[in-house]
C-alpha cells in the first residue's frame, strides 16, 4: 500500500522527483478546454449532426452535455484533485482499495487506443492544411479520389509522426508547458473560427445551413439519436479516459471545481456551435449533402472552399483550425500514460514522455495504414484496424470508464462532496445524477454502441 499513501495536502511531495506540477487557475481552464475541443467538435460533431437529425440532434447533444456530461466531468476533476494523482493512484488513494487501480490500466489502454487513430486523423489535417495553402486543391480536383489516394498510401504515417513529435515536445515540458501552449492556441482558435464564420455566413444560400443546424425538426430524431448524442457528449468532453482526472490532479486547491466544470463544458459547447455555424452554411451554400459521414471535412469542404474566391486561404485556415484543435487534445491524451508511468513506476518526465510517445506512434502505425487499405490483411470482420480501435475506445472503454467514475463518486468515495465544494442543494442534484441517472444511461449507450442491443 505504500505506493498509494495519501500525500500531505499540497506539500508538493506527491509526484516522483520532487516538486509537484501545478496549473494556474486559468491554466487549468485553457488546458481542459484544449483537451475537450478537438476533432470531436470540428470533424465528428458536424457529420453526426448531419446524420442523426440536424438541429434537433444539436439540442439533444446540448441537453446530454449539461445534464450528464458536466456532472461526470466534475466527478473526474474531483477525483484527480482529491487523490492528487494520475488514474494509476488517485482512486486507490481515495478508497484505500487496490481494486480501483484497474481504472488506471483501463484509462491508459483507452488513451493509447484513442491516440492511435486520433493522431492519424490529426496528421490528415496537417497534410490538408499544406495542400490547401499551397493551392494544390484547385477547382475541378477530384476531391474524393485525392482523399482516398492519400489515406491509401504511406504518407499518413509520416504525418502521424509529425503529430507525435509535436505532442511529445509539449508534454515533455510538463504542466506549465501544457498550460502555455493551450493559452496561446485556444484563443487563436476562437479568432480563426469567428473569422471563418463571418465569411461563410456571407455566402449566398448560407441561411439554409443555419436553419438546418439551429431550427429543430423533432421528427428527424430516432432512439439512436439519443444514444449517439450522449456517447458524443462523453467523447467531446474527454471523459472516461482519465484525461480530465489527470489534469484535475494539477489543479489549485482553492479553485472552484463547479465553476471550472461549467466553464469547460460551456466552452466545449460554444466551439461545437461555432463549428456548426461554419460547416453547415458552407455545405448548404454549395449544395453539398451534410449527412455524408466522415468524408464531410476532407472531401466536401475542400470542394466547397475551392469554389470560393480566395478559397485556398479560407480552406487552409480551416485545416489549421482542425490541426490546432486536434493537437491540444493529443497533448491531454499523451499526458495520461505519461503521468501514469511517473506515478506508478516513479519514472522522470523525460523518460515517461519518450517511452510513451514511441509506443503511441507504433500502436498508431497499423491505424494509419489500415484505414485506406495501404496494407491488406489489417481487416478483421467488418472493420479495419483503424475502425476497430475507434470502436473499442469510443464505444466500449469510454462508457466503461465513465461508469467506473460515476459509481466511484456516487457510492464509494465518501468525501467527494467536500472536494467538489458544492452547495448542499447542488450536491444532492449531483449525487442523484451520478448514482442513478448517469449509470443507467451509460449502460444503455454501452449496450447500444457495442451492438449488444438494437433499438
Ligand atoms: N474531446 C476530444 C475531442 O472532442 C477527444 C478526446 C477524447 C480527447 C478522450 C481526450 C480523451 O476531439
Ligand 1, atom nearest to 325 Cα: 12
Q: State the burial class of residue 352 (Cβ atoms within 10 Å of its Cβ: 0-12, 13-18, 19+).
A: buried
Backbone angles phi, psi at 238, to 5 degrees: 55, 40
Could you identify the residue written with the cell 486520433? Answer: 118
Closest residue by CA, ligand 1 atom 10: 238
Q: Are 357 and 168 in contact (CB under 8 A)?
A: yes
Q: Is the CB of 166 under 6 A from ligand 1?
A: no
Residue 99 has a pLDDT of 93
Q: Which of 45, 106, 329 to mutate to test the pocket of ligand 1 (most atoms within 8 A of CB)?
A: 329
Residue 7 has a pLDDT of 41
Q: Is the CB of 243 under 6 A from ligand 1?
A: yes
223 confidence band (pLDDT: 50, 70, 90) = confident
* Rounded mean pLDDT, 349-377: 84
Residue 386 has a pLDDT of 76
Q: Is the CB of 116 under 6 A from ligand 1?
A: no
Checking if the pLDDT of 12 tops 50, the result is no
Ligand 1 geometric centre to CA of 392 (Å): 15
Domain-located, residue 237:
yes
Cα-Cα-Cα-Cα torsion 419, 421, 427, 429, nearest 10 degrees, comes to: -100
Summarize pLDDT for 22-70 with one digit per residue, the tens.
999 999 999 999 999 999 998 889 989 988 999 999 999 999 999 999 9
Ligand 1, atom nearest to 326 Cα: 12
Ligand 1 geometric centre to CA of 135 (Å): 30
Ligand 1, atom nearest to 329 Cα: 8
Domain-located, residue 107:
yes
Domain-located, residue 454:
no
- What CA–CA distance (Å, rounded) separates 185 from 169? 15
Q: Are 193 and 275 in contact (CB under 8 A)?
A: yes
Residue 75 has a pLDDT of 97
Ligand 1 geometric centre to CA of 38 (Å): 6
Summarize pLDDT for 230-274 with one digit per residue, the tens.
889 999 999 999 999 999 999 999 999 999 999 999 999 999 999
Percentage of the chain beyond pLDDT 90 is 66
Ligand 1 geometric centre to CA of 18 (Å): 30
Domain-located, residue 13:
no
Count: domains in the chain: 1
Could you identify the residue written with the cell 474566391? Answer: 309
Ligand 1 geometric centre to CA of 143 (Å): 27
Percentage of the chain beyond pLDDT 70 is 93
Ranking 1-10, 91-100, 277-286, 394-403 by mean pLDDT, the lowest is 1-10
Summarize pLDDT for 402-427 with one digit per residue, the tens.
999 999 999 999 999 999 999 999 99
Residue 396 has a pLDDT of 84
Domain-located, residue 86:
yes
Summarize pLDDT for 281-299 with one digit per residue, the tens.
998 998 888 777 777 888 8
Closest residue by CA, ligand 1 atom 8: 238
Q: Is the CB of 261 under 6 A from ligand 1?
A: no
Q: Is the CB of 238 under 6 A from ligand 1?
A: yes
Q: Which of 48, 235, 268, 270 to mutate to test the pocket of ligand 1 (most atoms within 8 A of CB)?
A: 235
Q: Which of 34, 35, 246, 322 to mutate to test the pocket of ligand 1 (most atoms within 8 A of CB)?
A: 35
Q: Is the CB of 38 under 6 A from ligand 1?
A: yes
Ligand 1 geometric centre to CA of 235 (Å): 5
Summarize pLDDT for 203-212 with one digit per residue, the tens.
999 999 999 9
CATH of the domain at 363: 1.20.1740.10
378 confidence band (pLDDT: 50, 70, 90) = low
Closest residue by CA, ligand 1 atom 6: 238
Instruction: Give residues with Cβ within 8 angstroms of 16, minimum separation 6.
Output: 342, 343, 346, 347, 348
Range of the domain at 93: 22-375+397-440
Domain-located, residue 314:
yes
Ranking 12-21, 65-74, 255-264, 360-369 by mean pLDDT, the lowest is 12-21
Domain-located, residue 257:
yes
Ligand 1 geometric centre to CA of 204 (Å): 34
Summarize pLDDT for 307-348 with one digit per residue, the tens.
888 889 999 999 999 999 999 999 999 999 999 999 989 999
- What CA–CA distance (Å, rounded) separates 336 from 137? 37
Residue 445 has a pLDDT of 84
- What CA–CA distance (Å, rounded) separates 112 from 302? 30
Ligand 1 geometric centre to CA of 316 (Å): 23
Residue 15 has a pLDDT of 46
Ligand 1 geometric centre to CA of 394 (Å): 10
Average pLDDT value over all residues in the chain: 89
Domain-located, residue 172:
yes
Amino acid at each position: 500500500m505504500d505506493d498509494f499513501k495519501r500525500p500531505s495536502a499540497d506539500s508538493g511531495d506527491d509526484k516522483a522527483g520532487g516538486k509537484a506540477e501545478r496549473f494556474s487557475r486559468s491554466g487549468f481552464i485553457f488546458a481542459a478546454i484544449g483537451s475537450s475541443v478537438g476533432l470531436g467538435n470540428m470533424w465528428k460533431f458536424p457529420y453526426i449532426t448531419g446524420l442523426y437529425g440536424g438541429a434537433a440532434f444539436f439540442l439533444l447533444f446540448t441537453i446530454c452535455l449539461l445534464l450528464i456530461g458536466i456532472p461526470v466531468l466534475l466527478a473526474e476533476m474531483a477525483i484527480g484533485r482529491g487523490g492528487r494523482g494520475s488514474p494509476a493512484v488517485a482512486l486507490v488513494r481515495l478508497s484505500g482499495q487496490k481494486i480501483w487501480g484497474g481504472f488506471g490500466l483501463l484509462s491508459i489502454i483507452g488513451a493509447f487506443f484513442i491516440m492511435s487513430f486520433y493522431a492519424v486523423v490529426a496528421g490528415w489535417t496537417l497534410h490538408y492544411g499544406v495542400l490547401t495553402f499551397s493551392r494544390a486543391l484547385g477547382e475541378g480536383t477530384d476531391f474524393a479520389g485525392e482523399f482516398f489516394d492519400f489515406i491509401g498510401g504511406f504518407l499518413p504515417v509520416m504525418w502521424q509522426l509529425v503529430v507525435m513529435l509535436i505532442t511529445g515536445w509539449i508534454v515533455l515540458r510538463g504542466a506549465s508547458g501544457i498550460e502555455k501552449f493551450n493559452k496561446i492556441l485556444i484563443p487563436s482558435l476562437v479568432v480563426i473560427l469567428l473569422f471563418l464564420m463571418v465569411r461563410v455566413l456571407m455566402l449566398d444560400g448560407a441561411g439554409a445551413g443555419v436553419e438546418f443546424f439551429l431550427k429543430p425538426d423533432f421528427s428527424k430524431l430516432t432512439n439512436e439519436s439519443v444514444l449517439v448524442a450522449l456517447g458524443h457528449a462523453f467523447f467531446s468532453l474527454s471523459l472516461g479516459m482519465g484525461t480530465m482526472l489527470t489534469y484535475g490532479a494539477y489543479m489549485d486547491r482553492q479553485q472552484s471545481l463547479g465553476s471550472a466544470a461549467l466553464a469547460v463544458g460551456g466552452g466545449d459547447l460554444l466551439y461545437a456551435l461555432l463549428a456548426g455555424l461554419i460547416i453547415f452554411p458552407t455545405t448548404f451554400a454549395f449544395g453539398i449533402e451534410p449527412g455524408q459521414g466522415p468524408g464531410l471535412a476532407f472531401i466536401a469542404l475542400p470542394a466547397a472552399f475551392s469554389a470560393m474566391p480566395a478559397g485556398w486561404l479560407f480552406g487552409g485556415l480551416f485545416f489549421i483550425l482542425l490541426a490546432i484543435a486536434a493537437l491540444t487534445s493529443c497533448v491531454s491524451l499523451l499526458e495520461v500514460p505519461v503521468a501514469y508511468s511517473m506515478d506508478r513506476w516513479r519514472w522522470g518526465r523525460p523518460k515517461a514522455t519518450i517511452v510513451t510517445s514511441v509506443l503511441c506512434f507504433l500502436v498508431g502505425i497499423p491505424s494509419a495504414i489500415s484505414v485506406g487499405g495501404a496494407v491488406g490483411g489489417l481487416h478483421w470482420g467488418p472493420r479495419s484496424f483503424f475502425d476497430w480501435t475507434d470502436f473499442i475506445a469510443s464505444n466500449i472503454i469510454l462508457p466503461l470508464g465513465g461508469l467506473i467514475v460515476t459509481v466511484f463518486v456516487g457510492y464509494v468515495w465518501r468525501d467527494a462532496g467536500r472536494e467538489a465544494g458544492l452547495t448542499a442543494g447542488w450536491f444532492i442534484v449531483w449525487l442523484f445524477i451520478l448514482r442513478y441517472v448517469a449509470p443507467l444511461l451509460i449502460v444503455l449507450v454501452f449496450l447500444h454502441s457495442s451492438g449488444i442491443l438494437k433499438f
